[in-house]
A and B are shown apart, each in its own frame.
Chain A
Amino acid sequence: MYDVKLASILTLGEAIQEFVHDGATMALEGFTHLIPSAAGHEIIRQGRRNLTIIRMTPDLIYDQLIGAGCVSKLIFSWGGNPGVGSLHRLRDAVENDWPRPLELEENAHAGMAAAYAAGASNLPFGILRGYLGSDLPKYNQRIKFIECPFTGERLAAVPAIRPDVTIIHAQKADRKGNVLIWGVVGVQKEAVLAAQRSIVTVEEIVDKLDSPPNAVVLPSWVVSAVCEVKGGAFPSYAQGYYARNNAFYKSWDAISRERESFQAWIERYILGTKDFSEFRQSVGGAAANA
């Protein structure tokens, strides 16, 4: 007998409670589009600790998780505030061990893409024509080189990424929990398929997805939980729903620059709100309308 297990439709608070535990290895993916901001906030609210967080392009939510003391290790390939500058909380952790030491496992995008694809394929490692002459393999011992058994070419090998839990944000799901995602889809499909468990927050849950046959759809039975969180990618964007709030990204530079202003922001807007909807109301302006 086979028994397909469909995704549970949960609140985000319930999903984080059930699937994200202290010490977990976790990927919150999104390549500037559809960043699962609401889920990042909820992890801070619930006070998770000693997380290993994985993401190709850690941005504001990883800066928040690191600054809030949730993280012991970061696996990444580009960490910045896109178009603005540094992630000050990431830098403070790396440069000054504040609020705690942060271990880095650093890669290039091509390597992480290959590692996620290997994870989704249940292969032990991914290969790429990469890292040739770069100093990265000197500092990340998990990047190795192998000889192609057919041509003798020297290729890089990277261990598969297998998160305990992957969290992404998508445009919509149907009531069974099938998920539809479009636009810049990044590495989200691979990150979900590589993980033991996955949570997908969506802009809306609808009766029918009405998706074309080749659309990026994650079937309900590969997803653990679906949570409806309107505006859940703010300040990033959800194509077809709302635009990227570039002004918020710029304002994050000042908020995060000093420890005191960062902590005050976390106290007021994350710990001081009960969920993402209340966060959006309290931040006001564009967030409330996203």
Chain B
Amino acid sequence: MPDQNGYSADEMMTIAAARKLRNGAVCFVGIGLPSAAANVARLTHAPDVVLIYESGPIATKPSVLPLSIGDGELSETAETVVSIPEMFSYWLQGGRIDVGFLGAAQIDRFANINTTVIGNYRKPKTRLPGAGGAPEIAASSKEVLITLRHNKRAFVQKLDFVTSGGYFNGGNSRELMGLPGRGPTAVITDLGILTPDIQTKELTLTSLHPGVSIQQVIEATGWPLRIAPDVGTTPPPSETELQVLRDLNARTARAHAGQA
């Protein structure tokens, strides 16, 4: 729901995440929040972005957001559709992906992510869907963007399970592990934007969304959060950005209604 600013925290998150995607980038898109952000980018500042979903569609231009990763809308509006083995072999491992755009259930200070299980693996408190394409998207994309809502259940001191690698223990540990891509370059939440420190790779708060205080972000983070000395303010959504996002959500809601 829009707050007194005239837009919601979720809308700010999606728009801030969309802005991180450069025009012309080849982007491997995760379902959910990343898919919304990537399509807002395509419909605003990045008309030439190439969106790829792991189900096979390449250069897809959906008019509504897919509910599943393989909706018919994605293949009908794609330039080509490839098989799953081809997608992961030639396109992802082949080094054709500029940006992997991922969500997560849990994230730690070095941008490692968990989408597998909350609690003990053998006796989990919550069994999550699992890895899907994420470990190799996180490894092989030239860079990774991550978007998720900011709270202490998600931003944890220690992950219950490392599904996909960010910077592991920080410093040069990602390079030593042999992952080809450079790793996460930004984490966009409903409170602000975190980016890895150049040396330590620890996530650092570099931008606050309008109306959010540093204290709020600290309280929503499960580790002692580093704050950039020159922390900035995210520009609020423009009228165009908001309109594009709201139209997209409205089209999507209409398309996904219907009878069971």
Besides A86-B128, A136-B131, A249-B68, 14 other CB < 8 A contacts? Answer: A83-B67, A91-B126, A94-B124, A106-B116, A108-B136, A110-B93, A110-B133, A113-B89, A133-B168, A184-B74, A187-B83, A189-B83, A237-B72, A249-B67
The tally of CB-CB contacts under 8 A between chains A and B is: 188
CB neighbours of B74 from chain A (8 A):
184
A239 vs B72: C-alpha distance when bound (angstroms): 7
| CB proximity to B under 8 Å, residues A269-289 | 285-286
B:95-121 near A, CB below 8 Å: 112, 116, 121
Within 8 Å of chain A (Cβ to Cβ): is B81?
yes
Cβ < 8 Å to B, chain A residues 231-290 = 237, 239, 243-251, 285-286
Q: Chain A contacts of B71 at CB under 8 A?
A: 32, 237, 244
Q: Which chain B residue shows the least CB distance to A85?
A: B129
Given A94-B124, A94-B127, A248-B260; A110-B68 close (CB under 8 Å): no
Cβ contacts under 8 Å, A237 to chain B: 71-72
A108: contacting residue among B69, B135, B177, B258, CB under 8 A: B135
Of the residues A56, A77, A129, A244, contact of B139 by C-beta under 8 Å = A129
Tell whether A135 pairs with B163 under 8 Å between CB atoms, given A108-B131, A109-B133, A117-B85: yes
Q: Which of B32, B116, B164, B178 is the one whose CB lies under 8 Å from A154?
A: B178
B residues lining the A interface (CB < 8 Å): 31-32, 54-57, 66-72, 74-76, 81, 83-85, 87-89, 92-93, 112, 116, 121, 123-124, 126-136, 139-140, 161-165, 168, 174, 177-180, 256-260
Interface: A23 (CB within 8 A): no
Nearest chain A CB to B130 CB, angstrom units: 5
- Please give, as numbers and ranges, the residues of chain A lying within 8 Å of B93 by CB-CB distance: 110, 128-130
Determine whether the beta carbon of B178 is less than 8 Å from that of A56.
Answer: no
Complex-state Cα separation, A114 to B92, whole angstroms:
13
Q: How far is the CA of A222 from the CA of B134 in the complex (A)?
A: 33
Question: Within the assembled complex, what's the spacing in Å between the Cα atoms of A184 and B70?
Answer: 7
With A107-B131, A134-B164 as known contacts, state yes or no: A187 contacts B177, CB within 8 Å.
no
Complex Cα gap A106–B56 (Å):
22
Q: Give the Cβ gap from A164 to chain B, nearest Cβ, in Å.
A: 21
* A135 near B162: Cβ-Cβ < 8 Å: yes
B131 pairs with A78, CB closer than 8 A? yes
The answer to whether B127 and A286 touch across the interface, beta carbons within 8 angstroms, is: no
15 sampled A-B residue pairs with Cβ under 8 A? A31-B70, A32-B71, A79-B129, A84-B67, A91-B126, A91-B127, A108-B136, A132-B139, A133-B139, A183-B75, A186-B83, A249-B68, A250-B260, A286-B259, A286-B260
> Residue of B at shortest CB range from A106?
B130
Q: Are B256 and A246 in contact (CB under 8 A)?
A: yes
Contact B136 A110 (CB under 8 A): yes
Bound Cα distance A109, B85 (Å): 9
Cβ contact of B75, chosen from A95, A239, A247, cutoff 8 A: A239
**CB atoms of B31 and A82 under 8 A apart:** yes
**Is B69 touching A82 in the complex (CB atoms < 8 A)?**
yes
CB distance A78 to B75 under 8 Å? no
For B133, list chain A residues within 8 Å (CB). Answer: 78, 108-110
In the complex, A203 has a CB within 8 A of chain B:
no
A187 touches B131 (CB 8 A): no
Cα–Cα, bound, A117→B260 (Å): 36
- Which residues of chain A are within 8 angstroms of B116 by Cβ–Cβ distance? 106, 135-136
Beta-carbon contact of A33 and B258 below 8 Å = no
Closest to B122 in A: A139
Contact, CB under 8 Å: A83 / B134: no
Q: In the complex the two chains form, is A109's CB within 8 Å of B67's CB?
A: no
B186 to chain A, nearest CB (A): 20
* The 5 nearest A-B residue pairs measured at CB: A32-B70, A82-B68, A83-B67, A80-B129, A133-B165
Asked whether B55 lies within 8 Å of A186 as measured between CB atoms, the reply is yes
CA distance A127 to B177 in the complex (A): 17
**Closest residue of A by beta carbon distance from B160:** A135
Give A62-97 interface residues, CB cut-off 8 Å to B. Answer: 76-80, 82-84, 86, 90-91, 94-95
Produce 1/0 per residue, A96-116, CB < 8 A to B. Answer: 000000000011111001101
Among B121, B168, B179, chain A packs the most CB atoms within 10 A around the CB of B121
User: Which of B85, B134, B136, B257 is close to A247, meaning CB atoms less than 8 Å apart?
Assistant: B257
Residues from chain B with a CB closer than 8 A to the CB of A130 are 93, 135-136, 139
Chain B hits for A243, CB < 8 A: 72
Contacting pair B168 A110 (CB below 8 A): no
